Amino acid sequence: MNINAIREQFPILHQEINGHPLVYLDSAASSQKPRSVIDAVKRYYELDNSNVHRGVHTLGSRATDAYEGAREKVAKLLNAGAPEQIIFTRGTTTALNLVATSYARSVCKEGDEIVITPMEHHSNLIPWQQAAKATGATLKYIPLQPDGTISIGDVENTITPNTKVVSVTYVSNVLGVINPIKDITQIAHRNGAVMVVDGAQSTPHMKVDLQDLDVDFYAFSGHKMCGPTGIGALFGKKALLNKMEPFEYGGEMIDFVDLYESTWKEIPYRFEGGTPIIAGAVGLGAAIDFLNEIGFDEIDKHERLLASYAYEKLSALEGITLYGPEQNRVGLVTFNLEDVHPHDVATVLDSKGIAIRAGHHCCQPLMRWLNVSATARASFYLYNSEEDIDRLADALLQTKEFFGHAIG
């Protein structure tokens, strides 16, 4: 993988921040966009823009083709099978809320269980909390091992025949751990539950095969995988989607409307009320093309190298705590420096042109599990290099010195 050639394609990376060349280490929050994605969105607006699925005119057909073409690209990327099983949404949050509302709230009743884990992002936690409250179902958590991993024994012990929904993240945005989704799915299915997966941190970085995993629902966001903000998707198995009520009512999603009754379109349109996110889908399609051209095996390999390099470099620093397992992790490192709050770390790093995330990472229950109020996180993507990590490690050393000196 030629990092310099890849970096060339990301215009935003070639600038100085506070007098230093930018080192962007916050891709787990949102990735940067290559020229091809920016151009695809621009080209769509300059040449093809129109509404979809209704215009008789040529632009209407072009916009529809572009939008549906993007749906096919998503289906193929995830090996999802029939493209109508892909519903475009604003992102992972909306996709998970859709499942929690249209599926879980109609299926769950008192005595049923919804099973999640303490490492979930708020977007895969609160929708289930609310669904449990609304239906009287019990929310249960699969406990975590001391290193933040999930043991299959705990999964077996938590999921029961009363469990209706299991929802787990494929990759933790804090711990970097990759969860055994295929095994958890088998246990969920054996107990008659559906399996929902938060794919926000997996889809950008690794090959995902939904038919092999056999999950029932899978959600992800475009903006974390080189695509635009405001576009993501939900995969749902056809048989389940066909039974579900719409999430939003309005234009585009109806079959026949009368004064007092209406009927809905077939899937996926039933779940895409209103003018869809057409330009976003076009941009996401371009992002998928871009990533496919480089290859997910290459991306995965590169990021694992960066992760282990970062783990090695950072763990050599005195007074640093790294969170999450050392093995089987994606390209992110979550840490704390002794006696320096992560916000202060992030501010000092920013003054040196290095962008990292500090805070609770939308994982407050996980922060409590780790027994910290906040952490710092450096996350890597295909455009990052070992040199970026060297600069991070140097800057962290300077941060320690600065604060050691400042607070004496």
Positions that interact with another protein (CB under 8 A): 18-19, 341-344, 347-348, 350-351, 358-360, 364, 367, 373-374, 402, 406-408
Closest approach of another protein to the CB of residue 224, in Å: 19
The Cβ of residue 255 has, within 10 Å, a number of other Cβ atoms equal to 11
When the beta carbons of 55 and 359 are compared against another protein, the nearer one is 359
Sign of CA dihedral 84, 88, 92, 97: negative
Rounded-to-integer distance, Cα 106 and Cα 307, Å: 42
Nearest to 233 by CA among 199, 267, 185, 265: 199
When the beta carbons of 170 and 403 are compared against another protein, the nearer one is 403
Which residue has 């609304």 as its token pair?
134
When the beta carbons of 43 and 341 are compared against another protein, the nearer one is 341
The Cβ of residue 129 has, within 10 Å, a number of other Cβ atoms equal to 14
When the beta carbons of 157 and 347 are compared against another protein, the nearer one is 347
Closest approach of another protein to the CB of residue 17, in Å: 9
Sign of CA dihedral 15, 351, 322, 143: negative
The beta strands (E) that lie in 159-316 are given as 163-169, 194-198, 217-221, 232-236, 254-257, 262-264
When the beta carbons of 200 and 345 are compared against another protein, the nearer one is 345
Known catalytic residues are 362
Q: Which amino acid is at 67?
A: Y
Phi, psi of 8 (to 5 degrees): -55, -30
Closest approach of another protein to the CB of residue 325, in Å: 23
**CA-angle at 380, arms to 223 and 31, nearest 5°:** 15
Nearest to 308 by CA among 292, 322, 291: 322
Partners of residue 140 on adjacent β-strands: 115
Cβ atoms of 402 and 348 closer than 8 Å: yes
Closest approach of another protein to the CB of residue 398, in Å: 10
Q: Angle of helix 35-43 relative to helix 278-294, nearest 10 degrees?
A: 150
When the beta carbons of 53 and 341 are compared against another protein, the nearer one is 341
Closest approach of another protein to the CB of residue 350, in Å: 8
Closest approach of another protein to the CB of residue 272, in Å: 31
